[in-house]
Amino acid sequence: MAAEIVNPRSDSDNSTESAADEPFDPAFALHRGGKMAVQATVPVRDKDDLSLAYTPGVAKVCSAIAERPELVHDYTWKSQVVAVVTDGTAVLGLGDIGPEASLPVMEGKAILFKQFGGVDAVPIALATTDTDEIVDTVVRLAPSFGGVNLEDISAPRCFEIERKLQERLDIPVFHDDQHGTAVVTLAALRNAAKLTGRGLGDLRAVISGAGAAGVAIAKFLLEAGLGDVAVADRKGLVSRDREDLTPVKRELAELTNRAGLSGSLESALAGADVFIGVSGGTVPEPAIASMAPGAFVFAMANPNPEVHPDVAHKYAAVVATGRSDYPNQINNVLAFPGIFAGALQVRASRITEGMKIAAANALADVVGDRLAADYVIPSPFDERVAPAVTAAVAAAARAEGVARR
Which residues are known to be catalytic?
Answer: 54, 109
DSSP 370: G
The total of other beta-carbon atoms located within 10 Å of residue 221's CB is: 25
CA distance 25 to 127: 29
Angle in degrees, 0-180, between the axes of helices 157-168 and 131-141, rounded to the nearest 10? 30
Query: Which residues make Cβ contacts (< 8 Å) with residue 242, sequence separation at least 6?
Result: 235, 236, 253, 262
HSE at residue 324, side-chain half, CA atoms within 13 A, is 7
Q: Where are the alpha helices (DSSP H) in 234-335?
A: 247-255, 265-269, 285-289, 309-312
Element (H, E) at 218: helix 212-223
HSE at residue 3, side-chain half, CA atoms within 13 A, is 2
CA distance 104 to 82: 17
User: CA 76 → CA 62, 70, 73, 144, 398, distances in Å?
Assistant: 10, 11, 6, 9, 23
Mapped onto helix, strand or coil, the DSSP state of residue 229 is strand
CA neighbor of 186 nearest in space, from 307, 293, 335, 317: 335
82, 114 Cβ separation under 8 angstroms: no
